[in-house]
Amino acid sequence: MVFSGKFIKNTLTALIAVFPLLSFANPDQDTLNIKAGSTAYTKEHAVQDEHAPQDKNDKINAYIDHHLQDSHDFVFFSDESTGEHYGFPLPVIVFDDGLHVFSSARFHHGEEVAEVDGNYYAMHHGKIYKTDANGTMKFDEHGHAENEKPLDFSITKNVITMLFVCVLMFLMFVGLAKSYKKGPLPTGFGRVLEPLIIFIRDEVAVPNIGEKKYRKYMGFLLTVFFFIWILNLLGMTPLGVNVTGNISVTVCLALFTYFITQFSANKDYWKHIFWMPDVPVPMKIILMPIEILGTLTKPFALLIRLFANITAGHVVIMSLIAMMFVGKNLVADMPISLGLTLFISVIELLVAFLQAFIFTMLSSLFIGMAVQDHHHEEDHDAHTEEEPIII
């Protein structure tokens, strides 16, 4: 890839423009207000909310936990002194003796019980539970809620983000596709996208899957690469979304790779799993379960890798930002905190690309392993057939 001076300048400008905004993902802008507000909050809400954070560290942990999770409403920031949340509610879709669709505003950010069609629902740690009119929750000894959970198909914050990414990708790439009708070279933003597409084709798909068969999987690989990358980058913005750091999302992505691998696998692949050639029969029997397990561990590694990397990045960045609220001396802590956050953010930008690349790379590697022709096998067979003739 060729980086021209203008491209680097533009990228740097964009980065510098984005970084200060990251701090808005913090609980509050004004640290003094937080101190005043937090004490007020604990006093006022202590009775109503038994899970209210008791001290600042707990509060930060709770905040980070909350950020990492999906949520039913899109909150940009909250004013704790007044208890107001700035954002918009999202539709909740619940299957519970029929379909119930209602706005998440009725939960009042998890503070109230929503009554829908005679059923009562309560929000607890980002999950919807069935409850009664008083919002009674039963907990086991580990603190897990034991109430019945209805099937929740809500359009959550992550779903909205994914839809946004879909629209963005559709506009970007359909625009690129159209720009080819005007001439052989793309124009505008397409000039940035085209090298990436060629990169995925030449460095990821072709070397791993092979010149003949790669074309069929380009759609999946390109979509997944840009989908993960854009979502990773969106996770770096002050919107405070964490889509690729959500286990459900990575499970889904890895399952796609898994099913595509299994369904495109050829005879050789299955033969190597169930009856490994060129080894003694006892070894074949021992290898069979290992190989079957291997097909599952590959996508499992994929989903854990993406999830863990992105989650870790978010936790580290948020902890570094939170550092200045924990420390006693704001003047001394703030430059350290911001400097470290900036440093980690740059690394995270790299990780955002790297994880998307690794996911695509490994997906194409697994697909390539399933569809490749085992040349060495054929050569070997041909060799043994030839030998008697030589003798």
Partner 1 sequence: MDKLVNDFSLGLFFWQAVILVVLILLLVKFAWRPIMTSITAREAGIAAALAAAEAARKEMQNLQADNQRILQEARAERDAMLKEAREIKEKMVADARAEAQVQGEKMIEQAKATIDSEKKAAMAELKNQVTTLSVEIAEKILKTQLSDAAAQASLVDKMLDDVKLN
- Binding partner 1 by CB under 8 A: which of 24, 120, 173, 353? 173
Binding residues for partner 1, how many (CB under 8 A)? 46
Mask 91-120, x = binds partner 1 (CB under 8 A)? --x---------------------------
**Nearest distance from residue 252's CB to partner 1, in Å?**
4
3-state secondary structure at position 30 = coil
Nearest to 25 by CA among 234, 283, 334: 234
Alpha helices in the chain (DSSP H): 5-22, 31-45, 56-68, 157-182, 190-199, 206-209, 218-235, 247-264, 267-274, 281-326, 330-371, 375-390
Q: 66 near 126, Cβ under 8 Å?
A: yes
**Nearest distance from residue 39's CB to partner 1, in Å?**
30
Asked if 217 is part of the footprint of partner 1 (rule: CB under 8 A), the reply reads no
**Nearest distance from residue 152's CB to partner 1, in Å?**
4
Phi, psi (deg, nearest 5) at residue 136: -70, 135
Nearest to 250 by CA among 189, 162, 322: 162
CA distance 65 to 27: 13
Asked if 40 is part of the footprint of partner 1 (rule: CB under 8 A), the reply reads no
Binding residues among 174-213 for partner 1 as defined by CB under 8 A = 174, 176-177, 180, 184-185, 194, 197-198, 201
3-state secondary structure at position 25 = helix
Residue closer to partner 1 (CB basis): 40 or 93:
93
**Nearest distance from residue 246's CB to partner 1, in Å?**
7
**Nearest distance from residue 302's CB to partner 1, in Å?**
14
Q: 137 near 129, Cβ under 8 Å?
A: yes
Binding residues among 51-90 for partner 1 as defined by CB under 8 A = 69-70
Binding part of the chain for partner 1, among 101-109, 144-152, 314-322, 329-337 by CB under 8 A, reads 144-152
Polymer length in residues for the chain: 391
Mask 147-166, x = binds partner 1 (CB under 8 A)? ----xxxxxx-xx--xx--x
**Nearest distance from residue 296's CB to partner 1, in Å?**
16
What is the secondary structure of 66-79 as a DSSP string?
HHHS--SEEEEEEE
**Nearest distance from residue 250's CB to partner 1, in Å?**
9
The C-alpha R_g of the chain, in whole angstroms, comes to: 26
Binding part of the chain for partner 1, among 32-40, 146-154, 324-332, 383-391 by CB under 8 A, reads 146-154
- The gap from C-alpha 318 to its chain's centroid, in whole angstroms, comes to 17
**Nearest distance from residue 305's CB to partner 1, in Å?**
13
Residue closer to partner 1 (CB basis): 59 or 72:
72
Cβ neighbours of 381 (radius 10 Å): 11
Asked if 215 is part of the footprint of partner 1 (rule: CB under 8 A), the reply reads yes
Nearest to 81 by CA among 50, 110, 44: 44
**Nearest distance from residue 166's CB to partner 1, in Å?**
5
Binding part of the chain for partner 1, among 35-43, 73-81, 108-116, 251-259 by CB under 8 A, reads 251-259
Residue closer to partner 1 (CB basis): 251 or 338:
251
CA distance 339 to 388: 73
Q: 96 near 151, Cβ under 8 Å?
A: yes
CA distance 265 to 374: 12
Instruction: Note the residues at the interface with partner 1 (CB under 8 A).
Output: 69-70, 93, 127, 144, 151-156, 158-159, 162-163, 166, 169-170, 173-174, 176-177, 180, 184-185, 194, 197-198, 201, 215, 218-220, 222-224, 227, 246-249, 251-253, 255-256
